[in-house]
Amino acid sequence: MKDYNPDKSVISWAMRFVANLEDIKVIFTGTSNLEQLENNISEIKNADPLNDEELEILKEVSEIINSNITVDCTKCRYCIDACPEEIDIAKIFDLYNKDKLLGNEGWSQAGNAYLNYSKLPDVGIASDCVECEMCVEECPQQIDIPEVLKDVAKTFETEGYGF
């Protein structure tokens, strides 16, 4: 994206993409401060249509990102309310995806974050899963959550991380 147009930010690409979708009436953008909000408003006001080459670039970027995601969790958090063990499945899957994305073998920052998370009071970790599958029923992505949690436990809940 930067090679094609070094002056356009990722936000600009995203705003232009969304602004040019048919039947879109409202766009919610994540912002942390007034400057970001003003930038987003400016981008959407000046959102010129994407050309065919830009659409192809976005398709390639999307393929690269999707090819590096281990668990296709969108962090909707529907599964969490259903979990009797109070496992923050979305948080755990996020750490797991980060670990796999970086191709870590052994210790990693994501694994260390998982260890620190596991020490918090009243939180469930991957190995706490009782395989009730209540989470699976709530998952719009149809992820086999108990099976993935087994992989997460094998990855992070090891002696190397102090388990």
Local confidence band at 46 (pLDDT 50, 70, 90 cut-offs): confident
Per-residue pLDDT tens for 94-143? 999 999 888 777 788 999 999 999 999 989 999 999 999 999 999 999 99
Q: Which of 109, 20, 101 is nearest to 64 (CA)?
A: 101
Kindly report each contact of residues 78-83 with a partner whose C-beta sits within 8 Å and lies 24 or more positions away, as own/partner.
Answer: 78/138, 78/139, 78/140, 79/135, 79/136, 79/138, 79/139, 79/145, 80/135, 81/138, 82/134, 82/135, 82/137, 82/138, 83/124, 83/134, 83/135
